[in-house]
């Protein structure tokens, strides 16, 4: 079954309404004379083909199919509708950023009838949040079999491997990923985390701890110690030093401690147990 089709109004019920009861259908209303359509349609085709059969793009030339355009009250083009389970559930008009369109497509796929992956992914995420990393790893691995190119699943698995200090396994997975998957935001973040681990630009934290013991008010040493902990994947210890520094002097070095904390919140994700704990502590410090 092709991922991209051209349809007329006589085919609309069969190819859009009925088909969307088993697979999401995106309808692109366009015309040959429409400049923005010429920009949007190739993006839609690219993103739909990237989803490997999980969604269909149906293109409707409004000049040749004015009946269905009138029924759906198409006021301007390009207009794009997303159909799931026989009903339009999302729509937009005009050119849109590729990232925004992909978010819409992913939501359509997640809401498709019979798609159990989003629910199961939440269960895997909960195991990770509860620090049951080995169980979560197995769960994510089973989900990859159901949805091989899903960056959320892959990043979940990679985060488990990082927590279990299986860095070589994580890097092997990253190297095996398709180019498009590697570009996903979730994968970029976890790759950055793995790259930061083992960063040799900081002193050994044992040496830094000795220096700090001799000069406990030295903020630069404490900041470097925090970075050294983070580079060794000792995330809680790293956050503890940064939070201590922020609590003592929030403005030090252009708010360096806070910026580093927020950077790692973003990289690690809100489900990370250390992030959950550190966010609570940071909030209490900021609003005390």
When divided into structural domains, the chain yields a total of 3
Query: Which domain-ending residue is among 50, 85, 110?
Result: 110
Alpha carbon distance 115, 172 (integer Å): 29
pLDDT digits (tens, 9 = 90+) for 13-25: 999 999 998 899 9
The verdict on 75 and 8 lying in the same domain is yes
pLDDT category at 139 given cuts 50, 70, 90 is: very high
Q: What is the mean pLDDT of the chain?
A: 92
Strands lying side by side in the sheet with 79-84: 4-6, 56-61, 25-30, 79-84, 87-93
Of 177-186, 211-220, 254-263, which range is least confident? 177-186
Q: Which domain holds residue 39?
A: 4-110
Closest by Cα among 54, 50, 26, 49 to 183: 50
pLDDT digits (tens, 9 = 90+) for 191-207: 989 988 866 666 778 88
pLDDT at 160: 94
Tokens 């488990």, residue located: 160
pLDDT at 180: 83
Alpha carbon distance 1, 51 (integer Å): 13
The verdict on 99 and 8 lying in the same domain is yes
pLDDT at 149: 84
Rg over CA atoms, the chain: 24
pLDDT at 195: 87
Q: What's the rounded mean pLDDT across residues 199-219?
A: 86
Whether 196 maps to a domain, the answer reads no
Instruction: Enumerate the active-site residues.
Output: 34, 37
At residue 110, does pLDDT exceed 80?
yes
The verdict on 130 and 53 lying in the same domain is no
Whether 34 maps to a domain, the answer reads yes
Alpha carbon distance 190, 128 (integer Å): 15
Closest by Cα among 251, 249, 238 to 278: 238
- By residue count, the chain amounts to 288
If one compares 53 and 132, the residue with the highest pLDDT of the two is: 132
Query: Which domain-ending residue is among 92, 110, 128?
Result: 110
The verdict on 16 and 46 lying in the same domain is yes
Alpha carbon distance 246, 248 (integer Å): 5
Whether 192 maps to a domain, the answer reads no
Q: What's the rounded mean pLDDT across residues 93-97?
A: 92
pLDDT at 2: 84
CATH number at residue 121: 1.25.40.10
At residue 255, does pLDDT exceed 90?
yes
Q: What's the rounded mean pLDDT across residues 156-174?
A: 93
At residue 287, does pLDDT exceed 90?
no
pLDDT at 200: 62
CATH number at residue 225: 1.25.40
The verdict on 247 and 281 lying in the same domain is yes
């Amino acid at each position: 079954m092709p991922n991209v089709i051209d349809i007329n109004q006589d085919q609309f019920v069969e190819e859009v309404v009925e088909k969307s009861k088993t697979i999401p259908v995106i309808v692109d209303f366009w015309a040959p004379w429409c400049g923005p359509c010429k920009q949007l349609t190739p993006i839609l085709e690219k993103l739909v083909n990237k989803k490997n059969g999980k969604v269909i793009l149906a293109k409707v030339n409004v000049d040749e199919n004015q009946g269905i355009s009138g029924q759906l009250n198409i006021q301007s083009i390009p207009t794009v509708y997303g159909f799931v389970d026989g009903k339009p559930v999302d729509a937009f008009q005009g050119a849109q950023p590729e990232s925004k369109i992909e978010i819409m497509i992913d939501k359509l796929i997640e809401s498709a009838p019979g798609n159990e992956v989003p629910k199961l992914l939440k269960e895997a995420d909960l195991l990770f949040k509860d620090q049951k990393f080995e169980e979560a790893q197995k769960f994510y691995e089973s989900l990859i079999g159901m949805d091989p190119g899903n960056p959320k699943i892959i990043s979940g698995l990679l985060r488990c491997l990082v927590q279990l200090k299986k860095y070589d396994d994580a890097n092997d997975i990253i190297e095996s990923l398709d180019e498009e998957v590697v570009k996903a935001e979730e994968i970029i973040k976890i790759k950055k985390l793995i790259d930061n681990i083992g960063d040799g630009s900081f002193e050994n934290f044992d040496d830094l701890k000795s220096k700090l013991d001799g000069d406990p008010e030295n903020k630069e040493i404490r900041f470097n110690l925090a970075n050294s902990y983070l580079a060794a994947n000792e995330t809680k210890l790293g956050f503890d030093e940064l939070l201590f520094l922020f609590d003592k002097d929030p403005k030090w070095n252009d708010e360096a401690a806070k910026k580093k904390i927020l950077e790692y919140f973003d990289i690690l994700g809100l489900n990370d147990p250390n992030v959950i704990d550190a966010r609570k502590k940071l909030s209490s410090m900021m609003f005390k």
